[in-house]
Amino acid sequence: MNILLAEDEVNIASFLERGLRELGHRVSTAHTGAIAWERILGESFHLLILDVIMPQMSGLELCRRYREAFGYASPVVMLTALGTTDDIVKGLEAGADDYVVKPFRFAELEARIRALTRRTQLESHLPPVWVCGDLELEKETHRVVRAGRSADLTVREYRLLEYLIRNQGKALSRRDIIRHVWDREADRNMNVVDVYVNYLRAKIDRDFPQKLIHTVSGVGYRMEA
């Protein structure tokens, strides 16, 4: 893969670049957000690894710009020293697919990359449209329409909806959702699932008499018409 690594701490950047190259990836490293943006404009990348706090342009702003300009084909992993739920939500709202909290071992980042790559390959074989009641989700365009009305979803909201609709009728635990939507098995930050379910409900359920996302007491959530 061709990877963009944006990290302002030179020692960390050098360590990550070396590890990624040993895995067989091509790596373009930038130590400021502005330089990273120049690289993005001049080259195509299969994966972006962005530090949240960087001079000239933050990783959050860089991710936001990238999504607006180039869409969602390439995954984005955020590197952050901030591990609270609010900080994580901000990164995911900016369009990131996953995050790694500093300090971390390289093996953790490697696992994230493999999981994202595996999911991207699986998604290429999914049917073009998923349907639940009067809601349609178009895989290729990430367009979500309910009863003729389009819903503007963030990357994470879309992935959550896709997982729910692919498993409609099933009761899904928060741990299941974390594992498949966030590519991780974690005991912490389970409440981020509730936060995103509420975001999603506000966009696809709130204005409709028939609700599609249901709370399963003691378990988690189920999508069903």
Query: In angstroms, what is the C-alpha Rg of the chain?
Result: 18
CATH architecture, range 129-223? Orthogonal Bundle (1.10)
Distance CA 61, CA 78 (A): 12
- In terms of Cα–Cα distance, which of 189, 192, 221, 190 is closest to 205? 221
Residue showing tokens 């895989």: 139
Domain spans of the chain, in order of start:
2-123, 129-223
**In terms of C-beta density within 10 A (0-12 exposed, 13-18 middle, 19 or more buried), how is residue 221 classed?**
buried
| 175-215 pLDDT tens trace | 889 888 876 554 456 788 999 999 999 999 999 999 999 99
Distance CA 124, CA 139 (A): 9
Distance CA 82, CA 101 (A): 7
**Residues constituting the chain:** 225
Pick the CATH number of 2-123 from 3.40.50.2300, 3.30.70.1140, 3.90.740.10, 3.40.50.300: 3.40.50.2300
Cβ atoms of 161 and 200 within 8 Å: the answer is yes
**To 5 degrees, how large is the angle CA 156–CA 162–CA 167?**
135
| 61-83 pLDDT tens trace | 999 999 888 877 788 999 988 76
Backbone angles phi, psi at 51, to 5 degrees: -75, 140
Q: Which residues of 200-220 are buried (b: 16+ CB within 10 A; e: fewer)?
A: beebbbeeeeeebbeeeeeeb
Q: What is the pLDDT along the chain (225 residues), one digit of tens a residue?
A: 899 999 999 999 999 999 999 988 999 999 999 999 999 988 889 899 999 999 999 999 999 999 888 877 788 999 988 766 777 788 788 888 888 888 888 998 998 888 887 766 555 555 578 889 999 998 767 889 999 899 998 888 988 999 999 899 999 999 889 888 876 554 456 788 999 999 999 999 999 999 999 999 989 999 998
Cβ count near 157 (within 10 Å):
22
- In terms of Cα–Cα distance, which of 214, 220, 194, 215 is closest to 89? 194
Distance CA 46, CA 122 (A): 16
Cβ atoms of 60 and 38 within 8 Å: the answer is no
